[in-house]
Amino acid sequence: MSLDLPSDGCRSTPVLKERGQREVFCGLTGIIWLHRKMQDAFFLVVGSRTCAHLLQSAAGVMIFAEPRFGTAILEEKDLAGLADANAELDREVGRLLARRPDIRQLFLVGSCPSEVIKLDLARAAERLNQQHAPHVRVYNYSGSGIETTFTQGEDACLAAMVPTLAPTAARDLLIVGAMPDVVEDQCLALLSAMGIGPIRVLPAHRAGELPHVGENTVFALVQPFLGDTHAALIRRGARHIPAPFPFGEEGSTAWLRAIADEFGVPRDLFESVIAAPRARAQKAIAAQAAELRGKSVFFFPDSQLEIPLARFLVRECGMTAIEVGTPYLHEGLVGPDLDLLPKGPVISEGQDVEKQLDRVRAASPDLTVCGLGLANPLEAEGFATKWAIELVFTPVHFYEQAGDLAGLFSRPLRRKAILRKEAA
Ligand code: SF4
């Protein structure tokens, strides 16, 4: 088997770079999926009441007896005196850790307010580490909405952990990026069935299971928004296995294939391991693709999943991409997906929202993928939209989820057709 690499992919397409007003969520959003994944971690946002509201509404109806995230609210008096804010933070952390001995990893998460007042959370983490080590490891990262988009929260969190990972000389495979447990299990089962191992994952469920890293570590990313984590791992000497991201049948096969080749897995073993799930994925995608084939799609920049998803929709579902916008274009990460995405769409990086709205109105696509803030106004103008954030909250990686992934895009088209019929 060889990859069908079109010679006219989008890697050499000139990128339309824009900088202007943006419509995206901030990096605090990542706490919602990260706190589920890391079971002995606590995320303490150092922010305002707005940050607390965002977290509560993003977490929806989940009410925990013992939640694993919270907000240390910066009051006006804190804004006036940084010394007080630091002392207050130390006191709050002390109280929290005394009450919750189950917490082994504490993340101080910066926000717009903490950045504006220049509260040094790196120093705070250092100070708190000295007080609470070895029982608790304290990290810090920024989830601020200033100049960041919502998936960067996970990237910043994982990148903060990399320098603290213990060294190793072992040739381990490291899978990087948070996936729902059931999807992670599928991924590990496929790789293990090919005889690949030992396999570690970042983020790990618990502090005691954190991977080690060194010059013999090879790593594969499952999310295209992990640019800083990628750079941090390279700095530790690890080597990246570039591959299309595991969305859809083709992406999953190419991703697994790149790892299998790295570990010298015989071709017939590889084919026999993937045969059944691959066939299930093809069948599930075909059922959804009937409604997507021949339709056009326009991506606003939001989740950083846009390029791999455009590749999936065009090549596996028969859609036409008009514009594929991404907040950041990291060729070292999404290059293999750009190779596979046939030439044609505008590839844009960054955002100037008014100009982009003009372009979407002129193009009038069948489906627009965008953030929540743009979806309602665009729906009111008659566009069918898909909320980009759903693509991160829904299990969409690998073979067994490929049909659901296609379904996320066919559903808004189906809903629009029904509404149109009712209105006629
Ligand atoms: Fe708003 Fe900034 Fe807080 Fe995010 S970090 S909720 S953008 S104030």
| Backbone dihedral region for residue 5 (phi beyond 0: left; psi -120 to 50: alpha; all else: beta) | beta
ipTM over 0.95: yes
pLDDT in tens, 300-329: 999 999 999 999 999 999 999 999 999 999
Average pLDDT value for residue range 266-295: 97
Residue 69 contacts residue 33 (beta carbons within 8 Å): no
Residues that constitute the known binding site: 26, 51, 112
DSSP E strand stretches across 48-158: 69-73, 105-110, 137-142
* Nearest CA owner, ligand 1 atom 3: 51
pLDDT higher than 80, residue 135: yes
Give the pLDDT confidence score for residue 201 in this predicted structure: 98
Confidence of residue 2 (pLDDT cuts 50, 70, 90): very low
Q: Per the structure block, which two tokens stand in for 216? A: 């013999």
- Burial degree of 382 (CB within 10 A; 0-12, 13-18, 19+): exposed
Q: What is the dihedral of CA 336, 341, 345, 346, to 10 degrees?
A: 0
Q: Which pair of structure tokens corresponds to residue 104?
A: 């082994």
Percent of the chain with pLDDT over 70: 93
pLDDT at 233 over 50: yes
**Does residue 145 have its Cβ closer than 6 Å to ligand 1?**
yes
Of the CATH numbers 3.40.50.1980, 3.30.1300.10, 3.40.50.2000, 1.20.1250.20, which one belongs to the domain with range 10-22+284-423?
A: 3.40.50.1980
* Residue where the block lists tokens 């190779």: 339
- 20 versus 412: the higher-pLDDT residue is 412
What's the pLDDT band for 189 if we cut at 50, 70, 90?
very high
Kindly indicate the confidence band of residue 78, based on its pLDDT and cuts at 50, 70 and 90.
Answer: low
- What per-residue confidence (pLDDT) applies to 80? 57
Higher pLDDT, 105 or 60: 105
Is the pLDDT at 267 greater than 60? The verdict is yes
Mean pLDDT of 322-345: 96
Q: Got the DSSP string for 54-69?
A: HHHHHTTT---SS-SE
CA distance 176 to 227: 11
* Domain coordinates in residue numbering, the chain: 10-22+284-423, 27-148, 173-262
State the distance from the centre of ligand 1 to the C-alpha of 76, rounded, in angstroms: 16
Distance (Å) from CA 42 to ligand 1 centroid: 19
Q: Which residues contact 58 (CB under 8 A, 6 or more apart)?
A: 28, 29, 32
The answer, yes or no, to whether residue 219 has pLDDT greater than 50, is yes
**Best-predicted range by mean pLDDT among 37-51, 69-83, 174-188, 405-419?**
174-188
How far apart are alpha carbons 161 and 157 in whole angstroms? Answer: 7
Q: In angstroms, what is the span from residue 347 Cα to ligand 1's centroid?
A: 28
3-state secondary structure of 36: helix
Topology (CATH level 3) of domain 173-262: Rossmann fold (3.40.50)
Stretch 374-385: mean pLDDT, rounded? 93
- The identity of residue 124, as a single letter, is A
Distance CA 284, CA 301 (A): 27
pLDDT at position 61 is 45
Is the CB of 403 within 6 Å of ligand 1? no
* Amino acid 65: pLDDT: 44
CB 153 less than 6 A from any atom of ligand 1: no
pLDDT above 90 as % of the chain: 75
Tell me which of 3.40.50.1980, 3.90.76.10, 3.30.460.80, 3.40.30.10 is the CATH number of domain 27-148: 3.40.50.1980
> Does the structure show a pLDDT above 80 at 77?
no
Domains 10-22+284-423 and 27-148 share a fold: yes
Q: What is the overall mean pLDDT for the chain?
A: 91
Ligand 1 midpoint to CA 422 (Å): 40
